[in-house]
Amino acid sequence: MPSSEQPSSKTPSSSTSSTPSTSPAAAPTPGESPELIWLRPERTGRGPRPAHSRTSIAAAAIVIADAEGLDAVSMRRVAAALGAGTMSLYNYVPKKEHLLDLMLDAVAGEYDYSGLTPTGDCRADLRRLAHEQLAALRRHPWVPTLVIARPGLGPNALRYTEHFLAVTEPSGLDGTARLEALALLTGFVCQFAQYERTAAAGAKWQADLAGYLGRAAASGEFPHLAAAFATTGAAADSPDAVFDRSLDRVITAALAPVGTA
Amino acid sequence: MPSSEQPSSKTPSSSTSSTPSTSPAAAPTPGESPELIWLRPERTGRGPRPAHSRTSIAAAAIVIADAEGLDAVSMRRVAAALGAGTMSLYNYVPKKEHLLDLMLDAVAGEYDYSGLTPTGDCRADLRRLAHEQLAALRRHPWVPTLVIARPGLGPNALRYTEHFLAVTEPSGLDGTARLEALALLTGFVCQFAQYERTAAAGAKWQADLAGYLGRAAASGEFPHLAAAFATTGAAADSPDAVFDRSLDRVITAALAPVGTA
DNA sequence: CGTTTCTACGTACGCTGTACCTAGTGAGGG
DNA sequence: CCCTCACTAGGTACAGCGTACGTAGAAACG
């Protein structure tokens, strides 16, 4: 909802793999039209062939979001990018929310699990997975905002979940604990990416904040905060160092056996 | 951005304390108009007395957001709720984003630290703080969506930070590590609240999702996921149990000494 | 060869944030 | 004292949003 977008780098590996045939959807619409777009069949087979696809629509929307931020993603903009009339989009996507779902799942489809499949070392696998995830979020800085609002779980997200469960199998935790671990870890990565994003957003904002915090610290009302800033101010670790440090902690927390605190 | 709002319980302890005098803002506008609303003085002293205040505006907006969701918070709605003209709001708030900032900080002002001040037991203090936070987020389900988009740091958020730093002082961690711990913990609580919210959102959605996951599991494409659901399906722990369980892990991770993984 | 069902898309409505402009008010300086 | 000028309140207007609805035409099925 807020603006303050930086252009961000173009998506280099925008493969957006979609597995068109094997996705677990495609039931013939049970009762009414389902709320989840993944339960709506993409094609029913009758009439003229559609000129576009969910995948291409999501890709177009992602290009816009990467370049100009989420606010720039409007039905009109996406339709125009596809060379289609605005209302034609509604033949593919019942509501804009569903377009956002498609975008999120397309990003989830960018992961390449081939480089990080088996090894028995749970921690190392998770570390690599988290780094892959962080890279994706850096490519698409609008994802954290969206993913916290909509749990999603499209076919590509399912594949991600499956991979996570496979990787954490040697941990000895049961399914529930491992799903909670997944939530913990992806939440952390999203949060970190978001932090990075706002940190890099604008020099003005940054300067204003620094001034504000400085004045707050100087007011004497916040002694601990002042102390913390006194020790921090000079250092300013590299983002990746901070990420790795916290990531290790989060992995530890996520993999801790249930009884342990 | 998405709809799917449940009414949620009305805010019972909507004190919205604001500390009107001692806030660390009120510098006479350095160069241009600052991006942070906390750096803009609320009153300059000249002209007629304003009919409203930032606090009352934020309170009105919060009532709307609690009752009808974030989407219902429009400048027109808030102004109408205050009995003011729409454009009059812009005398108090330069942009809508800043109204959202005010709302967030007002929620941060609901915490009552009197019941949870000193004890040397870091873990217990953090546990209580997290529970207080979760309660606030349950009262105001729109907060997580907002807080991930805007780091905020208004005067009440500063007070919260100060309290957190005070509570974690006996941990022996330095300021940086404790601020990272803060981010980790509040991120977790927000994420959990958000999860709870979408879980409670709609039976239809829930049913659709269950059906979808069931079909996914049955497809044989996701063996680990199927296994996880087989073990989980029956149990379904109480939300608070899940929260406490994960909370303990997160606290452990947050307080782990730096070198440790 | 209908008939039926889909696709494409223009128009229109109610809503949004907010730029700009007009009045009026009340404290401060002369 | 009054004048002045910074401030407040609020109306009007505009571009843009999501999307309901309706029309026109094309492709597949019986």
Q: pLDDT tens digits, residue range B67-88?
A: 999 999 999 999 999 999 999 9
Any domain includes A146: yes
State the residue range of the domain holding B231: 113-255
* Interchain proximity A246–B184, CB inside 8 Å: yes
Q: Give percent of chain A above pLDDT 70.
A: 82
Residues in chain B: 261
DSSP chain A: -----------TT------TTT-S------SS--SSGGGS-S--S-SSPPS--HHHHHHHHHHHHHHH-GGG--HHHHHHHHT--GGGGGGT-SSHHHHHHHHHHHHHTT--GGGG---S-HHHHHHHHHHHHHHHHHH-TTHHHHHHH-----HHHHHHHHHHHHHTGGG---HHHHHHHHHHHHHHHHHHHHHHHHHHH-HHHHHHHHHHHHHHHHTTS-HHHHHHHHHHHHH---HHHHHHHHHHHHHHHHHS-TT--
Asked whether residue A96, judged by its CB, lies under 7 Å from any atom of the DNA or RNA strand C, the reply is: no
In a domain, A98, yes or no: no
Phi, psi of A121, rounded to the nearest 5 degrees: -80, 100
Rounded distance, CA B228 to CA A161, Å?
Answer: 11
Using a CB–CB cutoff of 8 Å, tell me whether A249 touches chain B.
yes
B20 compared with A252, residue with greater pLDDT: A252
Residue A82 lies in a domain: no
Of B231, B213, B17, the C-alpha closest to A153 is: B213
CATH number at residue A122: 1.10.357.10
This prediction has a pTM of 0.85
Task: Measure the CA–CA gap between B91 and A167, rounded to whole angstroms.
Answer: 55
Domain count, chain B: 1
What is the rounded distance in angstroms from the CA atom of residue A240 to the CA atom of residue A127? 12
Structural domain contains residue A34? no
Q: How confident is the model at residue B209 (pLDDT cuts 50, 70, 90)?
A: confident
Instruction: Tell me what pLDDT residue A8 has.
Output: 36
Which residues of A, range 141-200, sit inside 8 Å of B by Cβ?
144-146, 148-151, 153, 155, 158-159, 161-162, 165-166, 169, 174-176, 178-180, 183-184, 187-188, 190-191, 194-195, 198
Q: Given this model, what pLDDT does residue A205 score?
A: 72
- Positions in chain D where some atom is under 7 Å from a protein CB: 6-13, 16-22, 25-29
Residues 6+ apart with CB under 8 A from B118: none
Asked if pLDDT for residue B25 goes beyond 80, the answer is no
Range list of H helices, chain B: 54-68, 75-82, 96-108, 122-139, 143-149, 155-167, 175-201, 203-218, 223-235, 239-255
CA distance A13 to chain B (A): 25
As given in the structure block, the two tokens for residue B79 are 């102004």
Q: What is the mean pLDDT of residues A171-196?
A: 91
Does the CB of B76 fall within 7 Å of any strand D atom? no
On whether residue B198 sits in a domain, the answer given is yes
Maximum mean pLDDT: which of A149-153, A201-205, B6-10, B224-228: B224-228
Tell me the C-alpha distance between A47 and B249, whole Å. 55
DSSP summary character for residue B110? T
Residue A50 domain flag: no
Q: Is the pLDDT of residue A21 over 60?
A: no
Asked, for residue B171, whether it belongs to a domain, the answer is yes
End-to-end CA distance of chain B: 37
Tokens 């510098």, located at residue: B27
Q: Is residue B86 part of a domain?
A: no
The residues in B 220-239 lying below 8 A from A, measured between CB atoms, are: 221-225, 227-232, 235, 237
- When pLDDT is cut at 50, 70 and 90, the band that residue B261 belongs to is very low
Point out the residue among B70, B180, B232 whose CB comes nearest to the CB of A242: B180
Q: How is residue A94 written in tokens?
A: 């019942």
Tell me what pLDDT residue A152 has. 73
CA nearest neighbour of B55 among B87, B11, B99, B22:
B99
Instruction: Calculate the average pLDDT of chain B.
Output: 82
pLDDT of residue B19: 37
The pLDDT assigned to A212 comes to 82
Which phi and psi angles does A200 have, rounded to 5°? -90, 0
∠ CA A96-B74-A201, nearest 5°, is 70
